[in-house]
Amino acid sequence: MIRTHTCGQLTIKDIGKEVKLAGWVSKIRDHGNILFIDLRDRYGITQIVIDDSDEIQNIGVKPESVISIEGTVVQRPDSTINSKLLTGEIEVKLEKINILNDSHQPLPFEIEDAGSVNENVRLKYRYLDLRRNEIKENIIFRSKFIQSIREFLGKENFLEIETPMLTKSTPEGARDFLVPSRLESGKFYALPQSPQLFKQILMISGFDKYFQVARCFRDEDLRADRQPEFTQIDMEMSFVEQNDIINISEAVVKYAIEKTLDINIETPFPKIKYSEAMEKYGTDKPDISFGFILQNITDYLKKSGLDFIDKIIEKNGIIKAIKIEDGDKISLKDIDNINQFIKEKGGNGIGWIRFKDNDYQSPIKKFLKQDIIENIKTNLNIKSGALILFLGGNPEWVNEILGFIRIQISDKLKIKNPDNKFYFLWIVDFPLFEFSKEENKIVSRHHPFTSPEHESFKNHDNPLNITAQAYDLVLNGTEIGGGSIRIHKKSMQEKIFEILGIKKEDYQEKFGFLLDALSFGAPPHGGIAFGLDRLIMLLKKQDSIREIIAFPKTQKGTCLLSGAPDYVESKQLKDLKIKIDLPEK
């Protein structure tokens, strides 16, 4: 037996025991004729004390080498008790030491300092980085969180079913990662962007409650916090309505968080409609931990006599404002920065009024009639010291831009989430479609398998007015999950493809297998997927998703540890009948 205990296990109760431990040499402290080693493993640190430091010097123990020891558990002298460690009241008096494996010196970085080391170096030596307590705890937390989800869903009768990795492309709105087929030259598998169609087909097969800790792949240009492969907690259920899925989702999230973080999560989570989210916060993933709600002041500015405002209103535009009670904390310089941002977004600038006692300041003061000011003061409940920022233009643009400004100001004033809580929020009643300027056509807002809300489908005069039976879950201003009730009738699925402008032969070719399946007794069904990485990142209060993934990729999609992606041997390409056609360097 190499070890009898772990390095996090021994306490005062074990005094006198003969033990064997194994682990990594975390620290060596030489106090002349007495030497201490902090021995570390996944579970903790135990101090080893060596009276005869000559002996140890002779074998030459080095930091981060793996050793095993034998010794007796003794109580630490009072002066050396470390109350921060579970093992802090004892130490093990060394009797025998064995170097199991040496560690190369010098190390690329000191393990406990790695938090401040260049991230690329950390990623290259990820095995060392993962020895660090903080990141190790993240990975352990992630594992426990997944276990608690399995536990809960298992009890609720969900089946964990794997779906293929080598598959056909499913549209989730991103580019596919492709894998060439050797046996069918010229053809490609796509790695799944999500298990969407397979989980729907499982419902048609009668499995009625499915989940999977599913790896998904999307070949997108990586924004700050995306990974080309990521993990979803993916669920699907039959014979359910939107509220059933919302309820079970809340229950699983509550269970897993309470179990792993030992805090209380209140359910139900609040719900707001997509349109209300856009109106109030200018985004479909609002952080509701603070105010600064966007307020429509168009009515108070009608007949203002101000040319630029009249023009906006004539063109069916709106004017919206954000009220900042502590207006003094926003300087002219801050307003300049906001103006700069608005100009980048195609606007002219922000209007502002600063209220002080019974007077006010504003660059357009001489144009503002007193009754307008009074109207704004009463309706927005303005007190001395407040600043309002206002912006006019077409409603979507105004909401979006003010939504960004709302966040910028809250960052600047540091008023986000003052009590450090988890603010969950459901967004419901999404539009089924949206107009994509890049593609110059109507596209699905979620994916084309989302069921419309029936009344709005029946009565629509414009597809853009159809509401979806879709819902997103937002946590502290980040979307952490989303799903929908699905279309389960073939005829409806075909209608949706047609509205999307997909030709019959094309949708037959791509989704014929789904349409066939829908025609053999598909039950009503729906589901949701949670972005596990982002959820864990928020729960562990980390700034980057890379801190909670054991082997993350860089923003360029590379794995610095293994060197992927990489060239392959020409024989492999020949087998695949693939020729590389790269421009000469």
Residues in contact with ligand ASP by the rule CB under 6 A: 172, 194, 196, 482-484, 527-529
Least distance in Å: CB of 178 to ligand ASP? 19
Nearest alpha-carbon partner for 286 in 123, 447, 477, 455: 477
CA distance 77 to 89: 8
CA distance 118 to 129: 11
CA distance 185 to 169: 17
Least distance in Å: CB of 147 to ligand ASP? 22
Which CB sits closer to ligand ASP, 217 or 255?
Answer: 217
Which CB sits closer to ligand ASP, 320 or 446?
Answer: 446
Contact 320, 398 (CB under 8 A): yes
Q: In the numeric block, which tokens belong to residue 63?
A: 């930091």
Three-class SS of 163-175:
CCCCECCCCCCCC
Which CB sits closer to ligand ASP, 47 or 196?
Answer: 196
Which residues contact residue 296 at a Cβ distance below 8 angstroms, ignoring those fewer than 6 apart? 279, 318, 319, 320
CA distance 525 to 235: 11
Which CB sits closer to ligand ASP, 403 or 527?
Answer: 527
Which CB sits closer to ligand ASP, 66 or 443?
Answer: 443
The one-letter amino acid code at 152 reads F
Which CB sits closer to ligand ASP, 353 or 485?
Answer: 485
Contact 269, 251 (CB under 8 A): no
Least distance in Å: CB of 500 to ligand ASP? 17
Least distance in Å: CB of 484 to ligand ASP? 5
Which CB sits closer to ligand ASP, 125 or 269?
Answer: 269
Which residues are bridge partners to 359 per DSSP?
356
Residue closest to ligand ASP, measured at CB: 194
Which CB sits closer to ligand ASP, 14 or 172?
Answer: 172
Least distance in Å: CB of 173 to ligand ASP? 9
Nearest alpha-carbon partner for 427 in 468, 395, 399: 468
User: Cβ of 246: how many Cβ atoms within 10 Å?
Assistant: 21
Least distance in Å: CB of 514 to ligand ASP? 13
Which CB sits closer to ligand ASP, 403 or 483?
Answer: 483
Least distance in Å: CB of 158 to ligand ASP? 14
Sheet holding 229-238, edge to edge: 159-160, 209-217, 229-238, 525-531, 478-485, 470-475, 424-428, 271-273
Least distance in Å: CB of 198 to ligand ASP? 10
Least distance in Å: CB of 522 to ligand ASP? 16
Least distance in Å: CB of 511 to ligand ASP? 15
Q: In the numeric block, which tokens belong to residue 427?
A: 């967004």
Least distance in Å: CB of 151 to ligand ASP? 21
Report the alpha-carbon angle 476-392-329, nearest 5. 55
Which CB sits closer to ligand ASP, 44 or 483?
Answer: 483
CA distance 386 to 327: 5
Q: Phi and psi (nearest 5°) for 181?
A: -90, 135
The residue count of the chain comes to: 585
- What's the distance, Cα to Cα, between the start and end of the chain in Å? 57
CA distance 39 to 28: 9
Contact 24, 42 (CB under 8 A): no
> Quick one: DSSP state of residue 419?
T
Least distance in Å: CB of 497 to ligand ASP? 17
Q: Give the CA distances from residue 352 to residues 261, 290, 364, 557, in Å, rounded to whole numbers and listed in that order.
A: 44, 21, 8, 43
Which CB sits closer to ligand ASP, 156 or 172?
Answer: 172
Which CB sits closer to ligand ASP, 91 or 472?
Answer: 472
